[in-house]
């Protein structure tokens, strides 16, 4: 996100209790709801959401009928193949999607919080640019995948914070802005002297920390991180994740975390959704997905990590390559790569359905209880529900 | 993945050093400070071998790769390409570039955004002498080698129309299409999906085994380094702190920084594990004197703050730049205290 795209007039005070609606307004509030449509603890509710690139017969469906939701202060992980539509989904939800990307259907409701008048919910799909500006960065902020090149190369780091704060915190003096910027850098473990540097003088990790600090400038309720640590070394990743989760513990924001690294995602997410070719193929708690995947693609992903121990053997991961969205295979789009594919899979698309007696869902014909279809053991394991890893407290200091 | 046949050294670096002079904070009289981005690094890139470099963000991996590609001029040191010493202060020649190709970390930054992929791929081919008639077929073949099918779709795309992973595969294809002898890959898979990663890693390995390419593989994914590398180098604050042939460096890390690195790898099979303290941030905590890791090191001794350690032999083809290994007793103690996950099986 380049800093010039932040355009919020109202600024949230720094000490907002998690979940509460701050006294400063969020700009125009689109709907005040009670009763049925109330969201309660749910902060984001996305339903039947579809996104195309292009129009008419050239349209390519990049996000297909996706449902995702998350509760306040929780972490949703999005995993999936390169090109599966993860970035498109979050850009579309936050309405940062550029032409030829178009939202083709569905809804995305964001819960700003509750006060005397009830819940304040914004319909992100239909909100105007002006309404969106009231929400973006102050309520929802996003660290883009291309962040390594997103900082303006000819502007010193300090000036980038300066620009944001100058346009959103008109009450602040130059000295206050400088010390706020220094405090934000300190939050992500960087020394104040980085403010005087140009981005090209910093390493990737330093720039990524700066992007995270910029995203937290206006104290949002939902932070979306699109591959925030992918280009970093593991110790820095460990530090940044630790810091991020400490900040989350303090500030209470919810998070959508997109990464290819299922191991990392398993450690930090509460719930994980797996995307394939624009659609959700599996949704489960992080531990269940890791220990007991149900979808053959999820299993393939988990088997794609070279181990840190033992003999070196050649791994094949998932055979084939990601599908061309313009020419998706019929039926289950994973069937040409699926070792378990059956006749039915080549012409009928499996819906995402809840697995009976659980709060997880999968889109695969193996799991619909068809007579004569035996679920392979590797796709019917039972999770033991071991203790969850705590990314925040685990970093000893 | 055997260490058997050692091929000819394609590119040798000796004592490569690059210092940057940066303005210091405080802004007094334009005071400047020297950043020792890469200090006294020597390595051989051998035909048919992958050398992996892992290390902290800011440890100098990219500056090293850029010096090897001759995009950054070393402050001092030597480069020898296929036995011929290179005048390091002179301009990079086309001949050098055609032998030594660099694939960059950030695929979004490495492609010209206003041109289609066909332009991004055909331009280097034409510059390096492919005829106008041959170039498109070579570009398509290179795209197939990195599993981008159908190639025609990708040749027609603009960078912003591709996902990060697709774009990175195009940049690998671009480097491969002019048939270099040395491939410098700076975090080439960091933005790829895991399923595709394995394909690219196997591809790099294949380019080594079958086409006898010499590959420098820079990564922060130490598991992937362990998977494809013939030897592994760990850098910290511009210096090589540990190196080994084979996997011994990952299996039995000796340097305290390497031990931290190995323990930091996400491992959901062990959610209750202890990760050693990461210490202060390296950018703030690089010591000016003695061992550069000393401000963060849990084993720091008086000597570490005064004298820089040399590389000690800690095993077969395995060295560690740490005073702990100056005498045998201390070495044994650390090896015991940090051996982790003994007998544990791999996660998946
Ligand atoms: N502007 C565009 N025009 C046409 N197609 C596009 C455009 N942007 C993205 N796409 C296509 O949409 C699909 C989804 O892309 P997206 O960037 O959302 O994937 P992703 O899951 O984030 O992948 P990665 O993990 O590689 O970042 C891809 O096939 C991509 O080629
Ligand atoms: N042009 C420059 N001017 C000043 N300092 C620089 C310059 N280029 C790099 N540096 C410094 O040199 C050091 C090494 O940087 P380099 O980019 O090589 O790190 P890296 O190991 O590749 O890190 P990462 O894993 O984040 O990519 C860093 O401290 C960086 O700030
Ligand atoms: S529906 Fe069929 S092809 Fe698709 S994942 Fe399940 S078994 Fe494989
Ligand atoms: S030389 Fe000393 S400070 Fe440096 S890594 Fe070894 S024990 Fe730690
Ligand atoms: Mg993406
Ligand atoms: Mg780098």
Average pLDDT score over residue span B27-34: 69
- pLDDT of B77 strictly over 80: yes
- pLDDT of B275 strictly over 70: no
> In this structure, are residues B48 and B1 in contact, taking their beta carbons and an 8 Å threshold?
no
Residue B277 lies in a domain: no
User: Which positions in chain B touch A53 (Cβ < 8 Å)?
Assistant: 161
Q: How far apart are CA B135 and CA B123, in angstroms?
A: 9
Q: What residues are paired with A120 via a beta bridge?
A: A32, A113
Work out how many CB contacts closer than 8 A connect A with B: 211
Among the partner-chain residues A145, A305, A396, the one whose CB lies closest to the CB of B277 is: A396
Q: Which helix (H) or strand (E) holds B17?
A: strand B9-23
Instruction: Calculate ∠ Cα A54-A60-A62, nearest 5°.
Output: 110
Q: Look at residue B3 in the predicted model and tell me its pLDDT.
A: 45
Half-sphere exposure for B74 (CA within 13 Å, toward CB): 24
Report helix, strand and coil shares of chain B as percent, to nearest 5: 35, 25, 45
Instruction: Calculate ∠ Cα A265-A43-A279, nearest 5°.
Output: 55
The domain that contains B27 carries what CATH number?
3.40.50.300
Check B283 against A203: CB less than 8 A apart: yes
Mutate which of A277, A323, A340, A376 for ligand 3 pocket (most atoms within 8 A of beta carbon) = A340
Domain that holds residue B219: 3-258
According to DSSP, the β-strands at A118-123 and A101-115 are antiparallel
Residue B28 lies in a domain: yes
Contacts of B336 (CB under 8 A, 6+ apart): none
Orientation angle between helical segments B194-209 and B164-176, nearest 10 degrees: 10
ipTM confidence score? 0.80
Asked if A12 is an interface residue toward chain B (Cβ–Cβ < 8 A), one would say no
Q: How far apart are CA B259 and CA A166, in angstroms?
A: 44
Q: Which of the 8 DSSP states describes residue B28? A: S
Q: Which helix (H) or strand (E) holds B312?
A: strand B312-315
Q: Look at residue A312 in the predicted model and tell me its pLDDT.
A: 86
User: Which positions in chain B touch A87 (Cβ < 8 Å)?
Assistant: 163-164
Torsion angle, CA of A233/A239/A243/A246, rounded to 10 degrees? 130
Residue B54 lies in a domain: yes
Residue B234 lies in a domain: yes
Nearest to A368 by CA among A346, A345, A347: A345
B218-251 pLDDT per residue, tens: 988 889 999 999 999 999 999 999 999 999 999 9
Among the partner-chain residues B58, B247, B344, the one whose CB lies closest to the CB of A206 is: B58
Check B166 against A83: CB less than 8 A apart: yes
- CA distances to A54, A55, A64, A85, A109 from A328, in Å: 16, 17, 12, 14, 29
> In this structure, are residues B262 and B273 in contact, taking their beta carbons and an 8 Å threshold?
no
Residue closest via CA to ligand 2's atom 3 equals A201
- pLDDT of B62 strictly over 60: yes
Asked if A149 is an interface residue toward chain B (Cβ–Cβ < 8 A), one would say yes
Q: How far apart are CA A75 and CA A271, in angstroms?
A: 7
DSSP B39-88: EEEEEEEETT-EEEEEE-TTSSHHHHHHHHTTSS--SEEEEEETTEEE-T
User: Which positions in chain B touch A235 (Cβ < 8 Å)?
Assistant: 56, 260-261, 264, 278
Q: Maximum Cα–Cα distance for chain A, whole Å?
A: 72
Residue B53's φ and ψ, nearest 5 degrees, are -120, 120
Q: Look at residue A391 in the predicted model and tell me its pLDDT.
A: 67
Residue B202 lies in a domain: yes
- pLDDT of B110 strictly over 90: no
Asked if A298 is an interface residue toward chain B (Cβ–Cβ < 8 A), one would say no
User: What are the structure tokens assigned to A27, written together?
Assistant: 């700009």
Q: Give A130→chain B minimum CA distance, Å.
A: 26
Give the residue from chain A lying closest to B189, CA to CA.
A231
Among the partner-chain residues A203, A266, A309, the one whose CB lies closest to the CB of B344 is: A309
Work out which ligand 2 atom sits closest to the CA atom of B63.
18
B175-223 pLDDT per residue, tens: 888 889 999 999 888 766 667 788 788 888 988 898 899 999 998 888 9
pLDDT averaged over chain B?
84
Ligand 3: lining residues by beta carbon, under 6 Å: A 295-296, 332, 334-335, 338, 340-342, 345, 350, 364-366
Q: How far apart are CA B242 and CA B244, in angstroms?
A: 7
Check B164 against A145: CB less than 8 A apart: yes
Residue B229 lies in a domain: yes
Among the partner-chain residues A53, A232, A309, the one whose CB lies closest to the CB of B57 is: A232
Number of domains in chain B: 1
User: Which positions in chain B touch A193 (Cβ < 8 Å)?
Assistant: 24-25
Q: Look at residue A351 in the predicted model and tell me its pLDDT.
A: 95
- What string of H, E and C letters represents the secondary structure of A98-157? CCCEEEEEEEEEEEEEEECCEEEEEECCCCCHHHHHHHECCCEEEECCCHHHHCCCCCCH
Contacts of A307 (CB under 8 A, 6+ apart): B223, B346, B347, B348
Residue B308 lies in a domain: no
Q: How far apart are CA B128 and CA B96, in angstroms?
A: 11
DSSP A275-328: EETTEEEEEEEHHHHHHS--SHHHHHHHTTSPPSSS-------SSS-PPPGGGP
| Category of B285 on φ-ψ map: left (φ > 0), alpha (ψ -120 to 50) or beta | alpha
Q: Does the predicted TM-score (pTM) go above 0.80? A: no
Residue closest via CA to ligand 1's atom 1 equals B161
Q: How far apart are CA A260 and CA B200, in angstroms?
A: 15
Among the partner-chain residues A202, A233, A238, the one whose CB lies closest to the CB of B55 is: A233
Mutate which of B285, B304, B314, B326 for ligand 4 pocket (most atoms within 8 A of beta carbon) = B304
Q: Look at residue A313 in the predicted model and tell me its pLDDT.
A: 85
Check B165 against A82: CB less than 8 A apart: yes
Q: What residues are paired with B183 via a beta bridge?
A: B101, B215
User: Which positions in chain B touch A317 (Cβ < 8 Å)?
Assistant: 194-199
Ligand 3: distance of its center to the CA of A108 in Å? Answer: 29
Residue B347 lies in a domain: no
Q: How far apart are CA B53 and CA B65, in angstroms?
A: 10
According to DSSP H, which parts of chain A are helical? 86-93, 129-135, 147-150, 157-168, 174-187, 204-216, 234-251, 262-268, 286-291, 296-302
Work out which ligand 4 atom sits closest to the CA atom of B304.
2
Nearest to B40 by CA among B178, B262, B236: B236
Give the residue from chain A lying closest to B63, CA to CA.
A203
> In this structure, are residues A315 and B143 in contact, taking their beta carbons and an 8 Å threshold?
no
Q: Give A202→chain B minimum CA distance, Å.
A: 8
Nearest to A247 by CA among A191, A193, A189, A178: A189
Give the residue from chain B lying closest to A146, CA to CA.
B108
Radius of gyration of chain B (CA): 21
Q: Is B313 exposed, middle or buried (0-12, 13-18, 19+ CB in 10 A)?
A: exposed
User: Which positions in chain A touch B23 (Cβ < 8 Å)?
Assistant: 196
Q: How far apart are CA B186 and CA A94, in angstroms?
A: 32
Q: How far apart are CA A366 and CA B346, in angstroms?
A: 27
Asked if A190 is an interface residue toward chain B (Cβ–Cβ < 8 A), one would say yes
Check B281 against A190: CB less than 8 A apart: yes
User: What are the structure tokens assigned to A218, written together?
Assistant: 């206006």
Contacts of B227 (CB under 8 A, 6+ apart): A306, A312, A315, B201
Instruction: Let me know how long chain B is.
Output: 348
Work out which ligand 4 atom sits closest to the CA atom of B298.
8
Mean pLDDT by 10 residues, chain A (397 residues): 32 30 37 57 95 91 96 94 90 92 95 86 92 85 69 81 80 90 86 86 80 86 86 77 85 91 89 96 95 94 84 82 87 96 96 91 94 89 71 48
B121-162 pLDDT per residue, tens: 999 899 988 899 999 999 998 888 877 889 999 999 998 888
B248 lines ligand 2 (CB under 6 A): no
User: What are the structure tokens assigned to A361, written together?
Assistant: 């869902």
Which residues have a beta carbon within 5 Å of ligand 5, which is an ion?
A 87, 145
Ligand 3: distance of its center to the CA of A367 in Å? Answer: 9
Ligand 2: distance of its center to the CA of A385 in Å? Answer: 42
Check B57 against A322: CB less than 8 A apart: no
């Amino acid at each position: 996100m380049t800093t010039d795209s932040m355009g919020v007039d109202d600024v949230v005070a720094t000490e907002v209790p998690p979940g509460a609606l701050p006294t400063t307004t969020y700009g125009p509030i689109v709907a005040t709801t009670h009763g049925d449509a109330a969201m309660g603890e749910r902060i984001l509710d996305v339903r039947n959401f579809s996104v195309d690139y292009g129009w008419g017969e050239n349209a390519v469906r990049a996000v297909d009928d996706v449902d995702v939701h998350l509760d306040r202060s929780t972490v949703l992980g999005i995993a999936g193949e390169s090109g599966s539509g993860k970035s498109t989904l979050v850009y579309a939800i936050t309405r940062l999607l550029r032409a030829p990307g178009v939202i083709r259907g569905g809804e995305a409701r964001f819960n700003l919080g509750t006060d005397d008048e009830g819940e304040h919910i914004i319909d992100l799909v239909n909100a105007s640019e002006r309404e969106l500006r009231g929400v973006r960065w102050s309520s929802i902020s996003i660290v883009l995948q291309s962040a390594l090149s997103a900082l303006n190369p000819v502007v010193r780091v300090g000036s980038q914070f300066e620009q944001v704060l100058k346009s959103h915190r008109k009450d602040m003096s130059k000295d206050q802005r400088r010390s706020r910027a220094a405090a934000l850098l300190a939050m992500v473990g960087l020394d104040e002297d980085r403010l005087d540097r140009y981005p090209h003088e910093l390493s990737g990790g330093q720039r990524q920390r700066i992007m995270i600090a910029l995203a937290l400038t206006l104290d949002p309720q939902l932070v979306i991180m699109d591959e925030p640590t992918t280009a970093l070394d593991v110790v820095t990743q460990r530090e940044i994740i630790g810091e991020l989760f400490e900040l989350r513990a303090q500030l209470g924001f919810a998070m959508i975390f997109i990464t290819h690294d299922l191991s990392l995602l398993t450690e930090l997410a509460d719930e994980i959704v797996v995307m394939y070719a624009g659609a959700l193929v599996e949704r489960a708690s992080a531990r269940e997905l890791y220990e007991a995947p149900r979808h053959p693609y999820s299993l393939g992903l988990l088997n794609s990590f070279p181990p840190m121990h033992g003999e070196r053997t050649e791994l094949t991961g998932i055979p084939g390559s990601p599908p061309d969205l313009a020419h998706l295979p019929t039926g289950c789009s994973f069937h040409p790569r699926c070792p378990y594919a059956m006749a039915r899979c080549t012409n009928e698309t499996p819906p995402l359905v809840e697995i009976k007696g659980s709060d997880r869902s999968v889109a695969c014909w193996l799991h619909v209880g068809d007579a004569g279809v035996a679920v392979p053991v590797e796709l019917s394991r039972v999770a033991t529900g071991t203790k969850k890893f705590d990314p925040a407290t685990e970093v000893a200091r | 993945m055997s260490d058997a046949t050692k091929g000819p050294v394609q590119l040798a670096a000796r004592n490569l050093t690059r210092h940057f002079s940066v303005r210091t904070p405080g802004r007094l009289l334009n005071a400047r400070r020297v950043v020792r981005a890469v200090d006294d690094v020597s390595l051989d890139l051998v035909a048919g071998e992958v050398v992996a470099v892992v290390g902290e963000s800011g440890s100098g991996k990219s500056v090293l790769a850029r010096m090897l590609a001759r995009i950054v001029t070393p402050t001092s040191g030597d480069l020898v390409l296929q036995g011929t010493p290179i005048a390091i202060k002179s301009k990079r020649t086309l001949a050098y570039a055609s032998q030594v190709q660099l694939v960059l970390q950030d695929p979004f930054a490495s492609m010209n955004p206003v041109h289609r992929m066909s332009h991004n791929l055909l331009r280097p081919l034409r510059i390096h002498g492919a005829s106008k008639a041959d170039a498109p077929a070579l570009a398509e073949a290179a795209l197939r080698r990195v599993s981008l099918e159908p190639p025609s779709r990708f040749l027609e795309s603009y960078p912003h129309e591709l996902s990060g992973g697709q774009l990175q595969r195009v940049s690998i294809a671009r480097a491969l299409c002019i048939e270099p002898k040395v491939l410098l890959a700076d975090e080439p898979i960091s933005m790829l999906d895991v399923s595709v990663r394995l394909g690219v890693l196997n591809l790099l390995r294949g380019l080594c085994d079958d086409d006898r390419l010499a590959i420098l593989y820079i990564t922060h994914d130490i598991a992937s380094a362990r998977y494809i590398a013939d030897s592994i180098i760990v850098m910290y604050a511009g210096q090589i702190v540990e190196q080994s042939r084979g996997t011994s460096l990952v299996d039995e890390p000796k340097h305290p920084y390497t031990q931290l690195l190995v323990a930091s790898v996400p491992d959901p099979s062990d959610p209750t594990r202890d990760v050693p303290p990461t210490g202060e941030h390296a950018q703030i905590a690089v010591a000016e004197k003695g061992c550069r890791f000393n401000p963060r090191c849990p084993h720091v001794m008086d000597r570490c703050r005064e004298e820089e350690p040399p590389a000690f032999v800690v095993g077969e083809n395995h060295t560690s730049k740490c005073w702990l290994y100056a005498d045998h007793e201390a070495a044994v103690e650390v090896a015991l205290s940090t051996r982790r996950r003994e007998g544990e099986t791999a996660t998946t």
